[in-house]
């Protein structure tokens, strides 16, 4: 029995499009010097800011103010019921040839090629987890071959609080950071540009509901607090990170930049792609769960050298994460830490079981010891100036594709 409702839109959409009628992700765009809220469909964006003024738009006049905002934060705070109403209304509009949207295509549909995509939310707090068993094991083997995983790793979703101010939208150039590094065999550090620039293939979820200080969110309740997901590249300066991370963890090696894709794919769009995650042990009761909590989302990383062609260097999957997003949120709030709509929580590097699925250059080149050879003859241990890193993500089943759009950034020298 098909898992997707039979829906056919009057809009011509390629079967390879990330943005089918089953997706309808949320974004913010600039068009004609105005910032607006939009929903992607095929090659177009529905101008929700303008469309919300139509009489049949299913929100009260008191609620419509949220669509005049420059981000989706206020809309998220209306709650899941309202999120579903908007999603259902837009699907109805896209399937009926007599709908208001169909009759006013030129007024409310904008081509994606004609806009500039902006940050879809005002990010409040940002947390980065370390939830891939394969990634944590690989990194541990490089530095602690006899004891790769630290004692706490299989007990808690390890994470750290990052810097939201340096999270940027896809297409933003990244400047190679300066910092302290240690030369092997030397006792004192030197200062200068990082020589070991890396990407981290991650996904992030957007909190869509507030809690009060002292409140907790259980694993089973967590889905009601998550608005959607997007792609996330946690740029990393490995040499700066290596020198600074003891004893308090990541700092300047991480907070200079992270790139996000422009479209938030809702949890409703991803529901059909839930799957079983890895078998867990040593998990305390508050982190235990039943049912399908992971997602079968294909992940891909490409590198484009200056003047060259894009080459895929990693293929992974969100389902490889040991700690799922619901466990991450439950652990984050178990001590009473309050969350707010617009908070962002990233997964940590998502690596799979074999080298082709490793989610960072650190792993792909095994700490720089095994260079990757590109088709043009160049080799890479880490990212060079003018290299462009592009990430893609999509879920696909029964001919239905739910994509996230590109997450792209070019590394520039100083």
Annotated catalytic sites, by residue?
135
> Would the CA dihedral through 191, 145, 383, 253 be positive or negative?
negative
DSSP codes joined into one string, 271-292 = GGGEE------S--GGG---S-
Q: Which among 367, 329, 370, 333 has a CA at the least distance from the CA of 346?
A: 329
Count CB neighbours of 304 within 10 A: 17
- Exposed, middle or buried, 314 (CB in 10 Å: 0-12/13-18/19+)? buried
Q: Which two tokens stand for residue 248?
A: 């308090």
Contact (Cβ atoms closer than 8 angstroms) between residue 134 and residue 352: yes
Query: What dihedral do alpha carbons 168, 170, 172, 175 form, nearest 10°?
Result: 70
Q: Which two tokens stand for residue 239?
A: 């040499």
DSSP codes joined into one string, 216-274 = ---TTTGGGGEEEEEEEE--EEHHHHHHH-TTT--STTTTT-EEE-S-BEEHHHHGGGE
Q: Which two tokens stand for residue 211?
A: 């809690």
Q: How far apart (Å, rounded) are the C-alpha atoms in residues 133 and 113?
A: 39
Q: Which among 164, 228, 241 has a CA at the least distance from the CA of 200?
A: 241
DSSP class of residue 177?
A: P
């Amino acid at each position: 029995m098909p898992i997707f409702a039979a829906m056919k839109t009057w809009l011509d959409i390629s079967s390879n499009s990330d943005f089918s009628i089953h997706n309808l992700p949320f974004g913010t765009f600039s068009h004609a010097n105005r910032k607006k809220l939009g929903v992607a469909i095929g090659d177009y964006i529905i101008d929700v800011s303008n469309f919300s003024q139509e009489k049949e738009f299913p929100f009260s006049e008191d609620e419509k103010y949220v669509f005049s905002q420059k981000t989706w934060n206020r809309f998220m705070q209306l709650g899941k019921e309202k999120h579903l109403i908007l999603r259902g209304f837009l699907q109805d509009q896209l399937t009926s040839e007599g709908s208001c949207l169909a009759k006013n295509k030129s007024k409310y549909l904008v081509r994606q090629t004609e806009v500039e995509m902006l940050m879809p939310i005002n990010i409040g707090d940002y947390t980065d987890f370390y939830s891939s068993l394969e990634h944590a094991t690989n990194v541990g083997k490089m530095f602690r071959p006899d004891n790769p995983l630290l004692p706490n790793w299989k007990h808690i979703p390890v994470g750290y609080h990052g810097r939201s101010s340096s999270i940027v939208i896809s297409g933003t150039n990244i400047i190679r950071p300066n910092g302290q590094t240690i030369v092997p065999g030397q006792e004192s550090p030197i200062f200068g540009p990082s020589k070991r620039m890396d990407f981290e293939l991650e996904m992030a979820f957007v909190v869509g509901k507030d809690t009060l200080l002292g409140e907790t969110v259980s694993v089973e309740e967590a889905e009601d607090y998550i608005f959607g997901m997007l792609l996330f590249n946690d740029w990393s300066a490995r040499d700066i990170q290596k020198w600074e991370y003891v004893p308090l963890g990541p700092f300047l090696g991480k907070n200079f930049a992270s790139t996000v894709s422009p479209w938030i794919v809702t949890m409703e769009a991803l529901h059909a792609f839930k799957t079983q995650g890895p078998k867990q042990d040593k998990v305390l009761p508050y982190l235990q769960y039943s049912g399908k909590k992971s997602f079968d989302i294909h992940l891909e990383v490409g590198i484009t050298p200056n003047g060259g062609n894009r080459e895929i260097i990693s293929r992974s999957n969100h389902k490889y994460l040991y700690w799922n997003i619901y466990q991450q949120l439950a652990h984050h709030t178990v001590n009473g830490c309050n969350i707010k709509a617009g908070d962002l929580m990233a997964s940590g590097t998502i690596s799979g079981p074999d080298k082709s699925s490793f989610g960072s250059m650190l792993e792909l080149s095994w700490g720089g010891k095994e260079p990757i050879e590109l088709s043009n003859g160049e080799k890479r241990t880490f990212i060079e100036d003018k290299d462009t890193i592009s990430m893609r993500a999509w879920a696909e089943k029964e001919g239905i594709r739910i994509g996230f759009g590109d997450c792209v950034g070019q590394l520039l020298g100083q």
